[in-house]
Structure 1
């Protein structure tokens, strides 16, 4: 993989100020200027971009806005325009060096791409107002194609590191071929036909492709590894880096000959512009694998997705979703209805999901009844436990849009770690019976005597139900089981990690229209207990993550003494 070229796009707002002053040699400088530095990184470890495998250069655009933030209709790249930034090992440098403004009201926003002046890439004019865009044309030769990266804008900064988080901006498409039937085959022509040019537009919260046009049949680089025995295992033929499209409009064309055991041609099969599967979608960052199965009569194609850097040919079951399907991420309303939250593809057995960008907005008028409705949660699981099904809640589970925290006792599972209500351990992550556990606790004499002695249950089962009434067709709000808690992080967050907290916050923010997020200094409790401990997930800032552990019912860890309670319901 190291033989490929790289194209890195990082959108971030770099605060750059040029300060000039005429001073005497002896005049002291009261406030030293702080240089702006770059430290790009990838959003996951499963990528070709190791610390020693980043692009050698990148081009940077910087917008200095005095007295305020970035203006999407008026700001221009007045501070840096296509600035060359070079890498030496893990360090990035450029000249002349720019400095952060000393006036805290002045802001800087940055957008970057790499490698600098890459073939096929044209930046917008230096007079472009608002968010920049880049015009990109895919190289026709497979070996010359570039892996393009982009980030969400890093805007309105006045100090600190410019540490881009990079994501793949193109769709990686791998073609594999295998052979079946009685005779050997030889491919004489093969291409994947798709768009050639497009514009990558940065926008609030991310980026998108616009004006994707053209068509070209991209052939594999190899011309020698195209002969197959009568029955031959799948073999990777080509890997392309192509433009994402809203729908899969790509086709493939293939010509191959069928040969006898002596090598004599029996017949030639020609298939032109055959459509590829409409799923999975060609989204930015997806790695789509198409396997072409050759027989004497025809060629068939199966589609799948894999990790960006995995070349082993592992296959996955891919679930694709239409907007009307019930799925993880959907908005749940106070009338018991739901609407599309943007999930389009899920690779079973992994945390790999593809979401519409940006997320669809909530629909606040029920299209069936014509009555207004309010978002009260997000669907995080679409199967229910046998116990919940017996209660009539067959669809799955919803997380609330507010979570409750408290220090020490106020954020605890129980104020006294010695309380033991005999709620089962339940096998930890396999337990989805949170409602049953909460009902068991609320039947306990200790709860009846003083329910505030159980803050996690009181916040979710009492306070949240009072603040956000649940539809009568649901279970009402309660403290999730261990399995439900982990499912929230895996299905909405994309994993039990600090990045998962950010992802969950993005969904909650879209649902509420305001900035919402989960604390990364918190022990999130489930309703499962084991003696004087409870199943919980603990985060402590940017440090290591302790996950899925039994934790004391009263927060005690010196790194994290805050308890968190996320209300859920079954529907």
Structure 2
């Protein structure tokens, strides 16, 4: 004969405050400081409250029929659609489109940051109400520096939304056709936070796009057709367009079984994704700084623009094999082999940076630090790292167990993901 409430997503603060009222739960969600900032999958899900209440069940069975408590507004815009050949797995993807606002997107007095679900759909959750005030006055960007303006009106509209219902707005643009073009992925394509990919090539041969959209770009594809074997993410891998800065490896011997290799058999080491997953889920006292920095890229408030799409593997620390792909493909050095001696590579570094500076010139200037960690180990207390210094690079190993306050135990680190 008790009363029950089930809701999702869970909020520990409600339990701490002993909040047990349906209306109070809805109010707490809707009035949170960051409710209208929904520009990542995690933030969007956090706003989409689902709830069910069962009062005084008498037959011993309790069934919770969860229902959306708020409403949704969806804005659909045209996108360029692609599919790869059968040789690349008939992978479907879209080119990115950036959505910005000439007049702030607002619900009442609240500025909204919508979530891009990919494929041209932008969504945001709003509390259900009558006579909601909504302003739609925006700008689309398919090619950097070429804005496409749209708007229903600069004056706010009044809309009525009931719980669980959706209001849809469709933007039309005749220059983007609703057809699917066959195009294989290529090394050097740009990857975006909603999973879209900027290709070198348009739906018309005489109208190639040459200026990748910068907003939302999180990485550049460095290999195609491998990814993380035996997972859904086997279409390719992406180098993050953000350095993790200086990172420690570990203060403890937290080696991963099967990951200790020599340069001669580096290809037999564990995949970087497996190693990162193992390291971040070890006991707390076996903290691995570099792996955690890679794993958590985009999950903080300050770097949320680099959030990995939910359809990807998430960020991880690259293995030596990944670095060989980056140097061979993005660096255009197909004859590269791992060595512990210095190799002349000025053009390799320049080639890699050329991909980065198209999106962020400032980032390309200092993108690679003197030492760049891999996820591949040389011994139970050492890790392989890439040394990039001036015109040369070489592979070397670095001790894991050192004084953690020493700058000599900190090295540059980067993150990669697969899709």
State the TM bucket, normalised to the shorter chain. Answer: 0.3 to 0.5
TM-score normalized by the length of structure 1: 0.34
Larger Rg: 1
TM-score normalized by the length of structure 2: 0.45
Q: Name the structure where helix makes up a greater proportion of residues.
A: 2
